[in-house]
Structures are given as C-alpha cells and as structure tokens.
Amino acid sequence: MPRLTVAQMNAHCGELVRLNKRFAPIIKASPLCPIGRTKRTQTHFECMVDSIVSQQVATKAAQTVYNRIQTAAGGELLPETLAQLGERRLYECGLNSAKVKALQGLADAALSGEVDFNRIARLPDDAVIEQLTKLYGIGRWTAEMFLIFQLGRIDVWPTGDLAVRRGWDMLHKNTEPISVKALEAHGESLRPIRSIAAWYCWRAS
C-alpha cells in the first residue's frame, strides 16, 4: 500500500474536524499525524517480536532485550533464526517464560504458514486481528497497534487503550471517564479515519 502524502493526511485531518469539531485544537497544536506516512524500519515479523518483547517493560529495557535477541539470531531476525535459538538462549536474553513461549509460538506460526507475514498486509483489518490474536501472548491491543503503526491502516479504533479514552475525555471535557462501549459507539461517526482520531486522542492524553 502506497504511503499517504502530506496533502492526503491534511485532507483526512480536515475531515476529522468536520466530523467532530472537538479535534480542531489538538490537530492545530500537534504535528501532522504520521500514520500511513512513515517508512517502516522493521519487517512485519520483527515488529511482532518487538511488540511481544516490549509488553509491560520500559522502552529502554525492551530495546536492550530485543537487541540481544537480534544479536543471538546472527543479526537477522527471521522465523527460522528465532526458532533455532531455543528456550535457554531466549531466557539468557532477558525474557520471562511467557514471552519465551509467545516468541516460540510466533516463530512456529510463521514457519508453518499459519501466519503468513509475506501477505498479511493484503488482508483486511479483521482478518489480521484474527490471525494474530489466536497466537499465545498476542491480544487485540497488540494486533491493533500492528495494524496502525506497522501496516498504516487509518480506520482502526483501539477503544481498549486507556490513553485513547483519556484523550477523548480531555478533548470533550468529560466529567466522567468514558466507557469502552460508549467510545465504540462514538467511533462509528468517525469512519473511515478512526486511527487518525485515536492518534490525536493519544496526543491529548
């Protein structure tokens, strides 16, 4: 999928303001949303490894562990090189048992074709989420972040993300925290640019 141009993103932001004027101040005060515009620095498989490693860990610590895994895999993080490391080597990289199991499951799924990272970008959003969340250690939020930031999908609405909900509340001056169900309903009016709305909610939170 070709990357969005600055003009296209500006048009999407203008549409977002038309749909919900509460977004106007944060859009004006923020950099232009990067979703779908930035060049990927990781393969799809590397991105998922990084996502698993980063779960509930400080950014710097996660990067250190990821670098160790990449080095142990010979500098090229592929399903086959990850699978060859084995449990003991992954533990030595600084992973806990749950993450070791998740990474081994991810590598096995990629090698067997259960998840085809060569064609996953061609699948619709729901199919990507279904494929990824059936794997151990990968929940809906992780799959949604993959869709938004790796695949550049602009109509994902991660209502389970606390920062998105907080940002929505701040933009709309809510006195009570919005529920996931209520935010899901509000998102219907923001199709097909809900990822962009979510990004500006993050900026506002």
pLDDT at 61: 96
pLDDT at 185: 98
Do 112 and 27 lie in a common domain? no
Do 93 and 48 lie in a common domain? yes
Q: What is the extent of the structural domain holding 23?
A: 6-36+155-204
Residue stretches of the chain with pLDDT short of 70: 1
- Return the half-sphere exposure (C-beta side, CA atoms, 13 A cut-off) of residue 202: 17
Number of domains in the chain: 2
pLDDT at 2: 78
- 196 in any annotated domain: yes
* End-to-end CA separation in angstroms for the chain: 30
pLDDT at 90: 97
162-172 helix and 180-187 helix, angle to the nearest 10 degrees: 70
How far apart CA 106 and CA 136 sit, in angstroms, is 8
Do 14 and 107 lie in a common domain? no
The CATH number covering residue 30 comes to 1.10.1670.40
pLDDT at 104: 97
Do 49 and 131 lie in a common domain? yes
> 75: which 2 tokens?
């500098």
